[in-house]
Amino acid sequence: AAQLYNEFGEEYFVLPAHSYGLGVVKERLSMPEDVLGICIGKSTYARLGIICNMTPVEPGWRGHLTIELSNSSDSDCRIYANEGICQIIFLQGDKCAEPYGAGKYQDQQAAVTHARV
């Protein structure tokens, strides 16, 4: 786990240059069976070289989303807690024939979930 720093009441961690890390979103999601979410990074951090991997949030999935972050810049970057680093686009369609159900990432807790390969 990355060390959290606190400066002027703001918590942050440092993502070193040319590195990769995992984070977890604050909000707990519960996707309806007719909605797909696509998690994408926000431009403020992208302009600093921080890339948030595009991640699907499948119909029927629930939990705290683990996000993948990479720092493609030559500088260490601060990532602030409780600040929007990514956003989710919600797409509604027909009810999914095979919703996420009991998949291996169902009901993730508010902590980073590593790959289950």
Q: How far apart are CA 107 and CA 7, in angstroms?
A: 33
Query: Is residue 33 annotated as a catalytic residue, yes or no?
Result: no
82 phi/psi in degrees, rounded to 5: 65, 20
Q: How far from 73 is each of 12, 50, 68, 70, CA to CA, in Å?
A: 18, 7, 16, 9
Q: Of 11, 68, 83, 98, which one is the catalytic site residue? A: 68
User: Residues with catalytic annotation?
Assistant: 68
